[in-house]
Amino acid sequence: MREVTLQFVRRFSGGDPGRLRDAKELLTRLTRVWRGSSGRALPERYADLYGAVDAEIEQVKAHTRAPIPCARGCNHCCKFNEIYVSKFEAVLLVRHIENLLPDRRAQVVARIHAAATTSGGGHSSPCVLLDEDGCSVYSSRPLPCRGYYSLSEPACSQRLNLGGADPANLAAARVVEFAALEISGSDRQPPFEVNTLLHRIYADPAKAARWAAGDATDESDLAAATVAMK
C-alpha cells in the first residue's frame, strides 16, 4: 500500500500555486462527499466516494492533451500490477460477486479457487477478477484501479512481457486516487492483496456470505506491510 498523505498532493503541485489550489479544492470536494455520507455504513460510503472519484477523473481526462490508450480489451495493468484493497473495498467486491447471475458467479468463484494467490505476476498470476471479457467486477473496482491510466500501450505491453520500469501514467488521475485514499483513511489501514484475500474468503462459503453482508471477518494475518509510495 502506498503511503498517501496531503504532503504527496503538495509535492504534486511542484510549488505551483495554481496546482496547489487545484489539489486542495479536489480534497475539499471529495471530503464533502465522504462526510456527507457519514450516516451510512462504510461500504456504502466507499461506493459514494467511487462515484465522486470517477467524475473527477473524467474531468481530468477531458482536459488532458496526452493520448490515453486505456480501453476495453486492454488489460496489461491487471496482470503486472499487484492490486491492494482496503477491507471495505473488499466488502464491495464480494458483494458484487455474490450478486452476479448464478452461472457468472460460479465462473468467478471457480477462477478464485484456481488462481495464483498473489496478483502482479504477469500472465501466470493476473488479478483474480480478470477474465476473458475484462474485469468481472468493473463497477466495484477499487481505487487503485480507478486511478491508473497509462499514457503508452506499447510501454505497458513491454512492462508485462519483458519487465522493467512501470509505464508513464496520468499523474492527475493518480492524485485523485491518492486524495480519495487519504480522506477515507484507507492510507492508514493495512491493505490486502486482492488475490490472497479473495482466495481466503471463498475457501469458506459462510465467510463469503458474511463479507457480502458487510460483516467482514478478521483476516488481519493477511494484511500487507506498508510499501513506500512510488
CA–CA dist 192, 180 (Å, integer): 17
CA–CA dist 137, 125 (Å, integer): 18
| pLDDT on residue 227 | 44
11 falls within a domain = yes
User: Percentage of the chain with pLDDT > 70?
Assistant: 90
226 falls within a domain = no
Amino acid, single-letter form, for residue 169: N
**Helix residue ranges, H only, the chain:** 6-13, 17-36, 42-62, 77-80, 87-98, 102-114, 143-146, 153-162, 171-184, 194-201, 205-212
Range of 128's domain? 6-215
CA–CA dist 118, 219 (Å, integer): 16
165 falls within a domain = yes
102 falls within a domain = yes
Q: Under DSSP, is residue 55 helix (H, G, I), strand (E, B) or coil?
A: helix
What are the distances in angstroms from CA 129 to CA 148, 216, 220? 16, 19, 22
1 falls within a domain = no
| pLDDT on residue 9 | 63
pLDDT digits (tens, 9 = 90+) for 145-166: 999 999 999 999 999 999 888 8
92 falls within a domain = yes
Report the predicted TM-score, pTM, of the whole model to 2 decimal places: 0.89
Tally of structural domains, the chain: 1
Among candidate residues 184, 15, 229, 210, the one with its CA nearest the CA of residue 94: 210
* Residue 177 in grid coordinates: 486516487
CA–CA dist 45, 37 (Å, integer): 6
80 falls within a domain = yes
Measured in degrees and rounded to the nearest 5, phi and psi for residue 13 equal -70, -20
Residues of the chain with pLDDT under 70: 1-14, 225-230
223 falls within a domain = no
